[in-house]
Structures are given as structure tokens and as C-alpha cells.
Chain A
Amino acid sequence: MAAPSRSPSSSTSSPTPPGSALETVRQAPHGRILLDALAAGVLAALLALPILGFRLIEVTGGLALDYRFRLVGLAALGVFAGRILVLEARLALAAWRPAAARPETRRTFLGAYASRQSFGWILALLALILPWLPFADRNLIDKATLLLIYVMLGWGLNVVVGLAGLLDLGYVAFYAVGAYSYALLSQNFGLSFWVCLPLAGLLAAVFGMLLGFPVLRLRGDYLAIVTLGFGEIVRVILLNWQDVTGGPNGVSGIQRPSFFGHPFTATTPTGTTFHDLFGLPFSPDHRIIFLYYLSLTLALATNLVTLRIRRLPIGRAWEALREDEIACRSLGIDPTRTKLSAFATGAMFAGFAGSFFATRQGFISPESFSFLESAIILAIVVLGGLGSQIGIVLSAILLVGLPEWFRDLQQYRMLAFGGAMVLIMLWRPRGLMASRDPTVRLAAVPTSPGTGG
């Protein structure tokens, strides 16, 4: 056994056994990379053959097959070369990073928390000055407003799914309840946005409780199915209750928001307009910017309330319920009340978001509240990392913002969207911000000399 292992080392140019061992260690990754890339290339060729390789074309007298093997070859070659590039780059990066420095780059839990905090503040500041940035045009601000609605919905659903651990697939129902509450209340009773907003939240919260009661005993998959059904019921009711909701025609001509009674129009029959009040020349942008700040205020309020509740006993009870229901009960927590309060709180935030959505659009119909919306909101929460507030902002930017920016790609838009999702799940399988922040932090903070012992 010893003889054959010794002979190759003596035959190579470097005679010392340790040197040859080092050599094989160094060379092995490249060999493996080549093999890996070959396998990827073959796989790509196999996949591309049926997808790219054949095309049905119209010829005189019928159809014929067109062969495009060159494309297949190109695709396989592209995957092969790309794989080598990626793996080599990763290897080079690993070698370039000195081994001694690595422990330092692995951030401590506390450090990660601190940097996440400051990251949150930077994001909030950026959001605050966004309309005044040089590149901000009407289009961007409008899209940012839409994004903020989804952030708000994500934060609301996060209470139910992320904190309380109740998988809700029908969240859009509460969004719809909020939107229709505002639309109908303002149309039939002439109530203003600021009166309707709390009412819409309250109504949505009541609906949350109504849904909560029958599903109290359910968990996981079963809960998901029932909530999915509830979401559909609400949509179907909106679609068919013609007298009240207008059915598929929806509700149009919803009162637009005003700046505390001063409308954003060029002229007004009564009172003063917004631009007259501040002595500005009329611009349609005012309303867009006002809506943006309104949504930002609502979203930040949602965030603050959620962060605050997390530190209260009820918020801790939500999280404890997600972790272990048996333990919760044995500690004297009433699971019924805890679950209902989570449903109600989450639904209330959706109600706020819904009534804002209604006033922004001026028109709502059941089409805006399809299951796809629920799925997107849930995807935002899951992708962001269940329970993480910042993660939800990031994933909302990814999931709602990116498809908007991808519009130039036309029919490949959804492909890029899917690709982005796969990449996220590969790199951050537990969400963008996976770790949970403790609500209390006891780590000794270095006391300043002034405070003393």
C-alpha cells in the first residue's frame, strides 16, 4: 500500500511529499470546477434542446419543424462558461480574503443588530427626502407610494404570520374591507378621509375577529386553506352584492384626499385650494407628493405601533404562541385572546392600507383584491424573513419595485421576477433578514464616566 503512494511523489518535479500534497489541494478545486461546469453545460443542453431546439413554422401547405441547434449549443456553452466564471471568482475571492481577517468579518449578533438599526434609519431618511431628490419625477414618486402600500400591508401581515405564526392566505380580504369601507362611507355619508380611516381600520379589525373565531383551533396548512377561502368569500360578495358594492363595476368617483379641507385642484367652488393656501403656483405634482407623504406617515405609524406592541405582553404572547402553543397555555396565556388580537391588529393595518388605496386610486373594484395580491403580500413577508420589519421593506422593494423597473423587459419581466426569487431563496433560504431581534437587550452597555456607578 505504501509503495504506490510514494512513487508519484518521487516522479513529480517537486520531490518532497508535503509539497505535492499542497499541489493537489491547490489543483483540486480547478478540476472540480471544470467538472461542475461540464455537468451544468450538459444539463443546460438537455434542457435547451426541447425548449430552444425546435420551432414550429408555417410553410406553404401546413406546418414544419425548424431546427435551431446552434442556439442550443450557444446556451450550453454560455452556461458552461458562466459556471466556470462564477466558481473561479468565488475561489479567487476566498483566497484574496486573508484567512486571519475572516473572524472579524463574521459580525457579532449585536453588531448585526446595530448596523440593521442604522440601516433602518437611513432608509427612513431616504424615504423622507425622496420627493426632493433631483432624479425624483412624478412617476417615481407614484411608484414609491404604491411600494409603501405594500410595505404597510407586509408589516400588517407580519403581525399575523411573522409574529403570531398564523399562516393567513386571505389577507387581501381585510385590505378590501378597508378600501370598500372608505369608498362607501365617503360616498354615502360624505365622511372625510380622516374620519373614515379609523372607521375602516375598525371595520377591518372586526372582520379579522370574525374570521378568527372559527379558525381558532386550526394551525398551519388547515388555517391557510380556511383563510384562503375567507379571502375568496369576501371577493365574491363584493362581486355579487350589486346594490351596495356596485359589483364588477366597482366604486368610482371616490373622494380624493384634501389637505385638511383644501383640495388639490386648480380651482374649487368653495373654500381655498392647497396652492392658494400656500401661495404656490398650481401643479398636479402637489397631490402626488401629498399622497406619498400620507402613505409614508401611515406606513411609519404601522411600523412604530408594531415595534411598540412587540415589547408589550400581548406582543410577546404572539411570539410565544408562534414558538410553542402548549408552553403558552401552561404559562397562563389565553390562546384564544392572543390569536384574535393578532388577527384583529393585522386586519386593522390592512384596513388602513385599503382606505388609503381607495383614496389614491379614486376607483376600486373586486379585481384589485384577487388572491394574487394575498400571495404577493405573503411572499413579501416570507422573503423578508418572518418577523423582520426591515426585511419586509427590502423584499417589498424587490417584489413590487423590481417588476415595475423590469417593465422595459416586456414579456421577460416575469422571467426576471422568477429568477430574482430563486436567487433570494438560494442565498437567503430563511428570508433576507432571518434572525429575530430580541425585544429586550441586556448586554452591558459601557456606561459613560459621567453617570458613575
Chain B
Amino acid sequence: MLTIRDLRSGYGHIEALHGIDMEVSEGQIVTLIGANGAGKTTLLMTICGSPRARTGRIVLNDRDITRMPTHEIVRLGLAHAPEGRHIFARMTVFENLQMGAVTTPPRYFAGDLERVLTLFPRLHERLDQRGGTLSGGEQQMLAIGRALMSRPRLLMLDEPSLGLAPLVVRQIFQIIREINREQGVTVFLVEQNAYHALKLAHRGYVMVNGCITLSGTGEALLADPAVRAAYLEGCTPTGDAAATGAEQDNVTGDRSRHPTGVGPSVAARASATGFSQRDRG
């Protein structure tokens, strides 16, 4: 569905992505994990056409979208819920959802709205409320719901768990699974919350310093010792039903420590996955 070949991109003189190769297959959930500043958001933005790719090709459903302007790419069935949610704060929930449907014919609107509101009953209660007055989790639901209103075949989510309470994070991930399973939408998920994301994903990619260093099925990556050392410190290997609240806290806690530096033992092991000392210094 989405194929990326040797993609290079960046801002000004700085190259942020150094030749990315990637594949998102129809009907799957594909996850991209990586530390702060690895280039995950840049990759999503480049797929959307801003910034433009310097070299390489991005192909969506057999159409080359590398040089297309953002708003035309969206019309090809790709929806993007950008990092930081970007909801329209002064507009109501309903108006936000309306904005999501600008590219679709009006006759679909009622049905699509119904679908999104069934998925997010919370939004139904808040239809008349201003977007800016919603809680963080509700805003994320609105951002995803708004993206779904454009009837995408591929939904790209940029850190939907950012700044949310563990319980809400679990809820959001549950909904992402539902979107994929019941509505057949392919999901490309960018996350720092590696544990949840990999558990959900059919396929995962690990990005370090603008390069893909590892890829494989979600389960394989979850079991990979290097990934575990760098991104899943403190999680039990069983994964599945053992996901207690304490573990989730650990994952979130690990994330928040990233910007300030990783503990010495983790740093030593992290070099195996491609972390360089320069990157953290």
C-alpha cells in the first residue's frame, strides 16, 4: 500500500532521514518506534509532502506521491493525525469532524459521523463543546476521529499516546486495533511507547538517527534483546496478559527519561542497537 525507497529528507542544511526503505502492507498495523529526535515525525511529514523528499520515492497505491502537495496526497486516501493533535481549539467537536470530511462527498457525511461516534462514544457526548476544552485523551480521540472522517485507506498516527494517562493510552490503542480490524483501515503508527505499539503491530520498524536499524514482526521485535534493552527496559517478557498498570508506568517513565539521557547500563547495551554516544551527548 505504501512503499518508501531510499528516502532522504531534512530541514535546511540538516539531513534528518538518511535513506529510508519501508513497506506498509494493506490491512496491517505497522509501527515505527525510536527515541526522541530519531526522525520519526520527519518521516511522516515527508510522506505528507512537507518537507519535500530530497531523493527517493514514496509510492501510495501504485501512485508516486513524492512530489505531490499535501492536500492532494490526502485526497488519495491517506489521513494523517499529526503530532500534538492539532485540533481546531475554538471550533466545536462537530465542526472539527466536519473539517475532517472536506475531501469526501457530502452524502457520506452522516454515515461516517455515525461510524466515528460509535468508535468514540465520548465525542458523541461532547459534540457541541469546543475542541480546546476537551481533555488530552478526548482531544486525541478527536484527532483520530477527524482523520477517519476523510475515509482513509491508510491512517498515519503520530504519537497518539503523547502526554496521556496510562489508562487512556490503553484505551486509544484498543481503538486503533478496532479501526484496523473492523474497518479495514491500514494503520501506520509512530510511537515512543514501544511496548504497546509493538504489541499491537503486525510489523515494526526501529529508527535510530534517521536510519531504519531493525525491522520484523511486532512479536519478534518485542522479543528482540536489543530492542528490549533500549526501549522496553523493565517490561516482562511474557507481554500479553501480564500488562499490569505498573509495567505501563515503567514504559512511560522510560520514555520521559530519554531526553535527559539513558542510565549507564542501558547506554552500554543500547550501543548494540545502533545508538552512538554522540547522539546522547
- Which residue in chain B gives the minimum CB-CB distance to A444? B128
B119 CB–A CB distance under 8 Å: no
* Chain B residues near A329 (CB-CB < 8 A): 48, 50, 70-71, 74
Q: Looking at the complex, which one of B74, B90, B98 makes contact with A330 (CB distance below 8 Å)?
A: B74
- Of residues 316 through 351 on chain A, the ones whose CB sits less than 8 Å from some CB of chain B are 316-317, 319-320, 323-324, 326-335
- Of residues 61 through 98 on chain B, the ones whose CB sits less than 8 Å from some CB of chain A are 69-72, 74-75, 79-82, 86-92, 94-95, 98
- Which residue in chain B gives the minimum CB-CB distance to A325? B86
Q: Complex: how many Å from CA A334 to CA B72?
A: 8
* Chain A residues near B147 (CB-CB < 8 A): 330-331
Q: Looking at the complex, which one of B82, B95, B150 makes contact with A438 (CB distance below 8 Å)?
A: B95
Q: Mark B90-128, 1 if CB is under 8 A from A, else 0.
A: 111011001110110000000000000000000000011
* Chain B residues near A328 (CB-CB < 8 A): 99
- The answer on a CB contact under 8 Å between A438 and B91 is yes
Q: Complex: how many Å from CA A335 to CA B147?
A: 18
User: In the complex where A324-B87, A440-B92 touch, is A331 in contact with B150 (Cβ < 8 A)?
Assistant: yes
B153 CB–A CB distance under 8 Å: no
Q: Looking at the complex, which one of B91, B95, B150 makes contact with A332 (CB distance below 8 Å)?
A: B150
- The answer on a CB contact under 8 Å between A330 and B48 is yes
B99 to chain A minimum Cβ distance, whole angstroms, is 5
Q: Looking at the complex, which one of B82, B88, B103, B150 makes contact with A320 (CB distance below 8 Å)?
A: B88
* Chain A residues near B98 (CB-CB < 8 A): 316, 440
* Chain B residues near A334 (CB-CB < 8 A): 69, 71
Q: Mark A128-140, 1 if CB is under 8 A from B, else 0.
A: 0000000000000
* Chain B residues near A324 (CB-CB < 8 A): 86-89
B199 CB–A CB distance under 8 Å: no
B77 to chain A minimum Cβ distance, whole angstroms, is 10
A441 CB–B CB distance under 8 Å: yes
Q: Complex: how many Å from CA A443 to CA B72?
A: 35
Number of interface residues of A (CB under 8 A): 24
- The answer on a CB contact under 8 Å between A330 and B128 is no
Q: Mark B24-66, 1 if CB is under 8 A from A, else 0.
A: 0000000000000000000000001010000000000000000
A76 to chain B minimum Cβ distance, whole angstroms, is 44
- The answer on a CB contact under 8 Å between B91 and A319 is yes
- The answer on a CB contact under 8 Å between B102 and A323 is no
A388 to chain B minimum Cβ distance, whole angstroms, is 12
A283 CB–B CB distance under 8 Å: no
B122 to chain A minimum Cβ distance, whole angstroms, is 15
- Of residues 213 through 231 on chain A, the ones whose CB sits less than 8 Å from some CB of chain B are none
- The answer on a CB contact under 8 Å between B86 and A330 is yes
Q: Complex: how many Å from CA A331 to CA B48?
A: 11
A4 CB–B CB distance under 8 Å: no
Q: Complex: how many Å from CA A316 to CA B71?
A: 16
- Of residues 286 through 304 on chain A, the ones whose CB sits less than 8 Å from some CB of chain B are none
User: In the complex where A320-B88, A331-B103 touch, is A443 in contact with B70 (Cβ < 8 A)?
Assistant: no
Q: Complex: how many Å from CA A195 to CA B82?
A: 49
User: In the complex where A441-B128, A443-B128 touch, is A332 in contact with B74 (Cβ < 8 A)?
Assistant: yes
A110 to chain B minimum Cβ distance, whole angstroms, is 9
Q: Looking at the complex, which one of B86, B94, B102, B146 makes contact with A440 (CB distance below 8 Å)?
A: B94
* Chain B residues near A438 (CB-CB < 8 A): 91-92, 94-95, 128
- The answer on a CB contact under 8 Å between B74 and A323 is no
A47 to chain B minimum Cβ distance, whole angstroms, is 39
Other A-B pairs, 13, CB within 8 Å; known A316-B91, A319-B88, A332-B102: A313-B102, A328-B99, A330-B70, A330-B81, A332-B74, A333-B99, A335-B71, A438-B95, A440-B98, A442-B94, A442-B127, A442-B128, A443-B128
What are 17 contact pairs spanning A and B, CB under 8 A?
A313-B102, A316-B99, A317-B99, A319-B91, A320-B91, A326-B86, A330-B74, A330-B82, A331-B146, A332-B70, A332-B74, A332-B150, A436-B90, A438-B95, A438-B128, A440-B92, A440-B94
Sorted from nearest, which 8 A-B pairs have the closest CB atoms? Answer: A332-B74, A327-B86, A332-B103, A323-B88, A329-B70, A330-B80, A334-B71, A438-B92
